[in-house]
Amino acid sequence: MSQDRRIIFQNIKSALDGVDKVARPQIDFSILVAEGKIDQADPWLDFKKTFESVRGVFCDSVEDLVAFIKNQNLTQGYCDPGLKECLGDPLSAYFTIEYEYPRERVNDLSFAITCGSHVIAETGTIVLKDHDSVNRLATVAPWLHIAAVETPNIHPTVRDALLAFGDDPNIVWVTGPSKTGDIEGILIEGVHGPGEQVCFRI
Amino acid sequence: MTVQPIDDYARDLNPEIRAAIHKATTGRVIQREKVLFSDFPHANQMRKWAGELKRHTMSHLNEYLEQAANKMESNGVQVHFASTPESARTQILDIFKSNGVTRFCKSKSMVTEELEVRPFLEEHGIEVWESDLGEFVVQLDNDRPSHIVTPIIHKNKRQVAETFKTHGLGEYTEDPQTLTRQARKFLREKYLSSTGTMTGANFVSAESGRIVVVTNEGNSRFGLAAAKVHIAVVGIEKLVPRDEDLTLFLNLLARSSTGQHLSVYTEFIGGPRSANQPEGPEQMHVVFIDNGRTEVLASDCREALHCIRCGACLNVCPVFRQASGFAYRHTYPGPIGAVLAPNLVGKAGFPELADLPKASSLCGACNEVCPVNIPIPDLLLRLRNRGKESGAPNSKIAAPPMGAWSSLASSPTAWNLALKGGHLMNVLPQRMIPVPAMQTWLKDRVLPDWQGGQFRKWMKNRASNKI
């Protein structure tokens, strides 16, 4: 209702009538980096540490990834077609790998490999963007989500990641497995989203 | 009435629930302190910056709101405004109806609680599913959330087990993991068969027009993957000027709230899905809500609008821990609720909640933990004053007779007499003290022996003996 729009702006204006305009504070954003999180020469080493601290699983070899998926007793998964050569084909020797993610299959395809856009070293976060992840549902519905991220795509800090939004309409930061403490504060992982988050470095 | 309503709630609260609340809130307080200050030793400087930045934003609210709305529209978002709950509910219903949405999953949002969106839409034939685990339990129980971050802080696992069994979610179990899996299975079907989804927003960047939605469960992400129509219901005070400013707010929010450095899912949503995506909303609607906020902006409590709903002040508050969230009789409980609630209800609703500003010992812990440094004790005092000035009967409940005190304390003779007379209290039964507020206080406590007058005697002797 356009009338509401007019009323709200009018109310704001009259509420602020006579209120001093407060200047924007001078904020030193460069100091807004958590202590001791990024101190190694290779930011991926920092990422590995922070990612593991939020119970993420870091992998950079296909063998380790195969072992992890087997250990989870999962047999069927989805792979982003763009990752067929680098991950889909090698994994298909051990698992059933499919390249489409239809809704009827959400409960059978218990793992999914999608393209992660970046990681954030400071917080152990995987950045997913609409332009890069081919299927949103595949990033959230399977029990195990594997985000494949290319080596150069690492933001050292939260601020770096915020400044790199670009024009993507949907950016999601994922920092560990989906979790809740709603029932008596007891931590349970895998509420609606993945119970396991893997970051695979390409 | 000699007892404040909040005291009644505290008295009648089931001790088991009180213990659960105490355990949960103290755990959060310790975790916050540990994570916030080990990561940011200068966190107090950050809290001040965040408060100043909010103050700046609020003093330019019309400009930032306009900037955000314009940016959203150019991003392909349909922007709506609602000044009252009725208007918000009708507009939301229209959006869903005109798109043929008959079922939707919503993620946790306090503003939708405030507007009572769910019951309204249900009355109009739309099936609504709360997807946050705690809110889902609240919905099944036809209950209300009692904490802004931990909605079922007042329930234990036995109660959740009973609820899930009654609603046919699965076999009776008290194992939280199995209960969570039951909800996962049940709600997943709802997500996949819903064409709509609803979220709130933790922040809105005026610069990019993006809304920020923070969850741990990934429930809003699931909704935004599965649905075709997304409605975000957003209070007009959620604005921050720039994307970069989120560095400050995101670093403070989860640490203050749950003691995490970031919540698991932080979503920055600028518009409908991109062309390459097979899944996700084709339409995004943002409904900006006033519902009393511009009245708060016009009042001497405008800093209450800086609140980012982290719940830290609830966790640290001795009154909240004793009385529980329901004691505050409004969507927003705890110290910030005691400020927000009597303001948001407007002039007409104020008298009913005029006692809330007194539900505080003014210890100041709420201000110390607030990530945006809201001077809650000052605001409570301003509201107490408003209660007194407006003569609201609820503001006088259990107030001691300060008029008598004032004349006593301003006359040396009367004071001296009272000090001497005070010794009578050591002889007479305490229940005979003719002050109702005192009687209430004495119900659970005993006064120590009266020793008044000693200091004056000492002072007098000191003067005459020139010690």
Query: Mind listing the pLDDT tens digit for each residue in B432-445?
Result: 777 777 777 787 77
To the nearest 10 degrees (0 to 180), the angle between helices B176-192 and B133-140 is: 80
Q: CA of B89 to nearest chain A CA: how many angstroms apart?
A: 12
Per residue in B307-318, pLDDT (tens digit) is 999 999 999 999
For chain A, state the CA radius of gyration: 21
- Å between B362 CA and nearest CA of chain A: 27
Taking residues A179-200, what's their average pLDDT?
94
Residue A20 and residue B59: Cβ atoms within 8 Å?
Answer: yes
pLDDT at B429: 77
- The whole-number average pLDDT for the span B212-233 is 97
For A154-164, the pLDDT digits (tens) are 999 999 999 99
Q: Determine the pLDDT at residue B467.
A: 54
* Rounded Cα–Cα distance for residues B172 and A135 (Å): 36
Task: Tell me which residue in B24, B52, B137 faces A185 most closely, judged by beta carbons.
Answer: B24
Q: What is the mean pLDDT of residues B362-383?
A: 97
Work out the average pLDDT over B127-156.
94
Please give the order of strands across the beta sheet that includes B283-289.
B78-82, B283-289, B229-235, B196-199, B103-106, B127-130
pLDDT above 80 for B401: no
Residue B352 pLDDT greater than 80, yes or no: yes
- In this prediction, residues B85-98 reach a mean pLDDT of 97
pLDDT tens digit sequence for B405-416: 888 889 988 888
Give the closest-approach CA distance of A184 to chain B in angstroms.
6
Q: Is the pTM of this model over 0.95?
A: no
CB contact under 8 A, B258 and A174: no
B84 pLDDT more than 70:
yes
At CA B440, angle to CA B439 and CA B441, rounded to 5?
90
pLDDT for B457 beyond 90 = no
Taking contacts as CB-CB distances below 8 angstroms, the residues of chain B near A13 are: 62
Option in B39, B134, B241 nearest A182 (CB): B134
Give this complex's ipTM: 0.97
Q: For the ranges B43-57, B80-94, B190-204, B341-355, which has the lowest average pLDDT?
A: B341-355
Task: Provide the CB-side half-sphere exposure for B164 (13 A, CA).
Answer: 28
Region of poorest pLDDT, from B80-84, B88-92, B430-434: B430-434
Residue type, B320: F
For residue B304, is it left (φ>0), alpha (ψ between -120 and 50) or beta? alpha
Q: How confident is the model at residue B362 (pLDDT cuts 50, 70, 90)?
A: very high
Nearest Cα neighbor of B222 from A174, A147, A188 is A174
**What is the mean predicted confidence (pLDDT) over B5-14?**
91
Cα separation, B379 vs B397, in Å, equals 19
CB-nearest to B265 from A24, A163, A174 is: A174
Candidates A5, A174, A192; nearest CB to B131: A192
A170-174 vs B265-269, strand pairing mode: antiparallel
Mean pLDDT, all residues of chain B: 93
Please judge whether A182 and B273 are an interchain contact, meaning their C-beta atoms are less than 8 angstroms apart: no
pLDDT average, residue stretch B234-257? 97
CA–centroid distance for B396 within its chain: 24
Structure tokens at B340: 């927000």
